[in-house]
A and B are shown apart, each in its own frame.
Chain A
C-alpha cells in the first residue's frame, strides 16, 4: 500500500488558518486521498477526500498538488474544538479498507 508521511505535531493559534501537510510520493493514479480526524476520547471522523482536484466542504479544504505527490488539509479558521489528531490516508480502488498512519496532532492555542 502507498504510504503517507505527516509531521507528528503542529501548533496553531485560534481563529487563524491551519495548513496540515501530507506527503504521498508513491501514490498511484487510482488512489483517493482521505483525511480523517480524531478528537480526544472519540472515534475518528471523516473530514474530506479527493482524487485530483481541490475540494471544499463545510469542515475544510483539500489542496492536492498537480503531481499528486502531496496534499494539504486547510482549516480556514482554527477553533479550540479543532484540536485533534489528523490522519491523511490513501485509499486504493480495492475497496473501502483504510490504513491509518500516525497522523498529525494539532494543538490550538487560545
Chain B
C-alpha cells in the first residue's frame, strides 16, 4: 500500500491567491482528517470526514478555508484567499471509522504564503 498521498509536497504562493491541497487516503479507509502544524500552535485538527461526510469542522480557522471529499479516494483543502499566516505544514490522515483505529498520516504539504 502506498500510504496516504498528499500533493503538492511544497507550495509557495502569494498572498491573495487560491491554494488547493490534495489528499488520497489509504484504500478502504473511511475516515479522513486534515491537520495543520505550526511552531506556535503545534498540530491542530481542522476537519474530519466519516464516509465522505464532514463530521466536525470546528477547527477550520475561518471562511477562507473549505474542505471537500467528493468520493472515498480523494479530498481537497482549499484556502481562498490565502494569507501569510496560513503558512504551515498541512497533514492529511486516514483511518477506518469507528472503534479505536490507528491514524495513518501523509508526508504533508509545506505551504508558504508570501
Are B43 and A44 neighbours in the complex by a CB distance under 8 Å? Answer: yes
| Size bin of chain B's contact surface | 20 to 34
Are B100 and A91 neighbours in the complex by a CB distance under 8 Å? Answer: yes
Q: Is the interface of A mostly helix, strand, loop or mixed?
A: loop
Query: Complex: how many Å from CA A68 to CA B43?
Result: 25
Query: Complex: how many Å from CA A102 to CA B42?
Result: 6
Are A49 and B100 neighbours in the complex by a CB distance under 8 Å? Answer: yes
Interface segment out of the listed A10-18, A73-81, A92-100: A92-100
Please tell me which one of the listed residues B35, B43, B45, B103 contacts residue A46 in the complex, with CB atoms under 8 A apart: B103
Give A contacts to B, CB under 8 Å.
32, 36, 42-46, 49, 87, 91, 95-103
What would 17 A/B residue contacts be, using CB atoms closer than 8 Å? A32-B100, A42-B108, A43-B106, A43-B108, A44-B91, A44-B105, A46-B102, A46-B104, A49-B102, A95-B50, A96-B33, A96-B95, A98-B45, A98-B103, A99-B45, A100-B42, A102-B42
